[in-house]
Homo-oligomer: A and B are copies of this chain.
Amino acid sequence: MDHENVAASLAELGNSHRLSVFRFLVKAGHEGASVGDIQRELGIPASTLSHHLARMAKVGLIRQEKHSRTIICIPEYEHLEQLIGFLREECCAGVAG
């Protein structure tokens, strides 16, 4: 994960609504949750939520699987791990050096 990718991903998590969505999805686990589930849980208008989900998917924070009419959103744990890995390296570089 390079610099620009990290910045883009952090920017996506750096929005209150999107952070809420991501937290909800992580709680939901590997099976994820449908857009409708998220909408009912967080009370975000559908078009607004759709906008946020599209952004999150674009940078790889979540993936979306379509099952007939329903779209399931699943958090990309690996992506977050890499993000945390990057931050940890940044964080410890000064302490170690």
Contacts and interface: CB of A to CB of B under 8 A. Distances in A.
A77 B88 CA distance: 10
Interface residues of A, number: 37
Interface string A1-40: 0011011111111111001101101111110000000000
A75 B87 CA distance: 13
Contacts of A10: 10-11, 13-14, 19
Nearest to A29: B94
A41 interface: no
A72 interface: no
A14 B11 contact: yes
Given A7-B13, A15-B7, A87 B93 contact: no
6 contacts: A7-B19, A22-B90, A23-B90, A26-B93, A77-B94, A84-B88
